[in-house]
């Protein structure tokens, strides 16, 4: 039973391979390949991986972005994993989503940037005294502050 559970989890996780190619005076570019291993097309698949960085090259607040093989930036999030005592960033955790065709390998490049792309439909969060509302564009969820054991006090579908 445990083996089957592990296999399912392994199949659901794309394989992320990364290597850092940074030379003195050149901009950081980390090529990555994400392979779909079981022949199942994926839509907006979560992709996550830790990337090592050259010592002293970037400070903790540095922004990073993911670019696809087409050169377009993908909405992504990069969080510091390891920061040296001098404040330089050593490892960064990168998360993003993308579509993967069955048995395909998508290629990406991680780059240091001034600012990153934003999702086409960002979340809207409204915080009021009695409730918090989260609007994704597709659905709107209301979470009550006065009913502690109810998950959502309302769920509405757009359109």
Domain spans of the chain? 2-113, 124-157
Nearest-Å Rg of the Cα atoms of the chain is 19
Q: Is the separation of the CB atoms in 135 and 128 below 8 Å? A: no
> What is the rounded distance in angstroms from the CA atom of residue 20 to the CA atom of residue 159?
45
Stated pTM of the model: 0.61
Q: Is the separation of the CB atoms in 74 and 108 below 8 Å? A: yes
Closest CA to 54 of 90, 3, 78, 84: 90
Q: Is 34 exposed, middle or buried (0-12, 13-18, 19+ CB in 10 A)?
A: buried
Strand ranges for 4-152 from DSSP E: 15-18, 29-35, 42-52, 63-68, 73-74, 76-83, 89-100, 105-113, 124-127, 131-135, 139-144
Distance of CA 77 to CAs 80, 117, 118, 129, 148, Å? Answer: 10, 10, 10, 30, 31
Instruction: Quick: pLDDT tens for 50-87.
Output: 999 988 899 988 999 999 999 999 999 999 999 999 99
- pLDDT of residue 92 exceeding 90, the answer is yes
Read off the tokens for 145. Answer: 């502050």
- What DSSP element (H or E) covers 7? helix 2-12
CATH placement of domain 2-113:
2.60.40.1180
pLDDT bracket for residue 40 (50, 70, 90): very high
Share of the chain above pLDDT 90, in %: 45
pLDDT bracket for residue 19 (50, 70, 90): very low
């Amino acid at each position: 039973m445990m083996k089957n559970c592990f296999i399912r989890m392994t199949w659901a996780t794309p394989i992320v391979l990364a290597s850092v190619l940074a030379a003195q005076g050149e901009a950081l570019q980390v090529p990555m390949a994400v392979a779909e291993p079981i022949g199942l097309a994926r839509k907006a698949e979560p992709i996550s991986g830790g990337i090592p960085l050259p010592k002293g090259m970037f400070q903790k607040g540095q922004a990073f972005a993911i670019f696809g093989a087409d050169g377009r930036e993908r909405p992504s999030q990069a969080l510091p994993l390891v920061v040296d005592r001098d404040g330089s960033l050593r490892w960064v955790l990168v998360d993003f989503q993308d579509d993967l065709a069955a048995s395909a390998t998508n290629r990406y490049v991680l780059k240091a940037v001034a600012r990153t792309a934003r999702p086409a439909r960002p979340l809207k969060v409204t915080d009021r005294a009695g409730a918090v509302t989260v609007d994704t564009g597709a659905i709107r969820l209301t979470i009550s502050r006065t009913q502690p054991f109810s998950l959502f006090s309302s769920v509405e579908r757009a359109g």
